[in-house]
């Protein structure tokens, strides 16, 4: 199978610095057709991407990983986004309930090693069940979130999911995101109004104080705010070889070799 490397994406990544998120989403739909989806955890930025996809009338489904221990507010936000934006929501779930997992392996999320295992079982493994279904997965990572996201590119190869990760909001500032949400009355997970700057599972997420880093509420019990679940390729501890295999015609289209839809 032909290979696509991170280096191949570099020219497009430079071009995308000057493009709007909407232009990048249109490009993704045009290039990948029915083989692109958007991954959303129903946080503020993810809801914004959903709103854009809906407003642009793009036929892109939304993939949501239900870990079985999400906040009720997150599940209700997912349902509202699907209903009010007219989007297809694909919900993926772990093989075991949290109760079954705990019975078999204990309370994993209390230790750094257990957290990695738990996030793998409840987040990344369910996502990998769609491996091979999509050549591209849209996300909502922003450099403004800091940490391991502070140099996040628009396009990344994801060697685990075997797809191209697309982050149309990569260079959107906090102020720009807030402005888009206010102007468009984007559906926002109500937990954001209760002090949660980022939102994950109910076992591992707390609100943050005004002077704390944004991710201070994630795995607070494990500290020191450097923990990630590994669902995004730039946040994994070990980066595998930076290439993925894709059909040649998809690579040619992606790199603008066979289409005039280059932006």
- Alpha-carbon dihedral of residues 127, 128, 132, 135, nearest 10 degrees? 50
Query: Could you tell me if 84 and 57 are in contact, meaning their C-beta atoms sit under 8 angstroms apart?
Result: no
Task: Tell me how far apart the alpha carbons of residues 101 and 106 are, in angstroms, rounded to a whole number.
Answer: 7
Stretch that binds ligand SF4, among 14-22, 116-124, 128-136, 178-186 (CB under 6 A): 116-124
Q: Which is nearer to ligand SF4, 78 or 123 (CB)?
A: 123
Contact status, residue 50 vs residue 56, Cβ threshold 8 Å: no
Contact between 43 and ligand SF4 by CB under 6 A: the answer reads no
Nearer residue to ligand SF4 within complex by CB, 60 or 229: 229
Q: Is 48 in the site for ligand SF4 (CB under 6 A)?
A: no
Answer yes or no whether residue 115 interacts with ligand SF4 by CB under 6 A: yes
Stretch touching ligand SF4 by CB under 6 A, among 3-11, 127-135, 197-205, 242-250: 197-205
Name the minimum Å distance from CB 43 to ligand SF4: 13
**Does residue 199 interact with ligand SF4 by CB under 6 A?**
no
Q: Does 119 bind ligand SF4 (CB under 6 A)?
A: yes
Q: Would you give the DSSP letter of residue 129?
A: T
Residues 247, 15, 138, 210, Cα dihedral to 10°: 150
Of the candidates 136, 161, 172, 153, the one whose C-alpha atom is nearest the C-alpha of residue 9 is: 153
Q: Which stretch binds ligand SF4 (CB under 6 A): 113-121, 124-132, 166-174, 250-258?
A: 113-121
Q: Among residues 161, 72, 83, 78, which one has the least CA distance to residue 123?
A: 161
118 a catalytic residue: no
Which residue ranges make up the site for ligand SF4 (CB under 6 A)? Answer: 67, 69, 109, 115, 118-119, 122-123, 200-201, 203-204, 229
Catalytic residues: 229
């Amino acid at each position: 199978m032909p290979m696509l490397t991170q280096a191949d994406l570099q020219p497009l990544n430079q071009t995308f610095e000057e493009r709007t998120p909407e232009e990048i989403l249109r490009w993704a739909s045009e290039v990948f057709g029915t083989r692109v989806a958007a991954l959303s955890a129903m946080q503020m930025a993810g809801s914004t991407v959903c709103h854009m996809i809906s407003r642009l009338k793009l036929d892109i489904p939304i993939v949501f990983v239900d870990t079985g221990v999400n906040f009720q507010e997150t599940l209700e936000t997912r349902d509202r986004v699907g209903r009010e934006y007219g989007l297809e929501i694909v919900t993926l779930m772990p093989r075991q309930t949290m109760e079954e997992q705990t019975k078999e392996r204990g309370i994993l999320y209390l230790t750094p090693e257990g957290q990695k295992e738990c996030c793998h079982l409840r987040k990344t493994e369910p996502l990998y069940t769609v491996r091979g279904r999509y050549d591209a997965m849209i996300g909502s990572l922003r450099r403004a979130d800091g940490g391991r996201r502070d140099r996040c590119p628009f396009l990344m190869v994801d060697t685990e999911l075997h797809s191209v990760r697309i982050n149309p909001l990569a260079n959107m500032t906090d102020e720009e995101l807030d402005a888009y949400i206010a102007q468009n009355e984007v559906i926002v997970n109500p937990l954001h109004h209760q002090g949660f700057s980022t939102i994950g599972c109910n076992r591992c997420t707390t609100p943050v104080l005004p002077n704390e880093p944004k991710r201070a509420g994630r795995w607070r019990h494990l500290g020191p705010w450097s923990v990630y679940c590994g669902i995004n390729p730039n946040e994994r501890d070990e980066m595998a070889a930076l290439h993925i295999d894709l059909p040649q015609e998809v690579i040619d289209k992606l790199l603008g070799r066979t289409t005039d839809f280059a932006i």
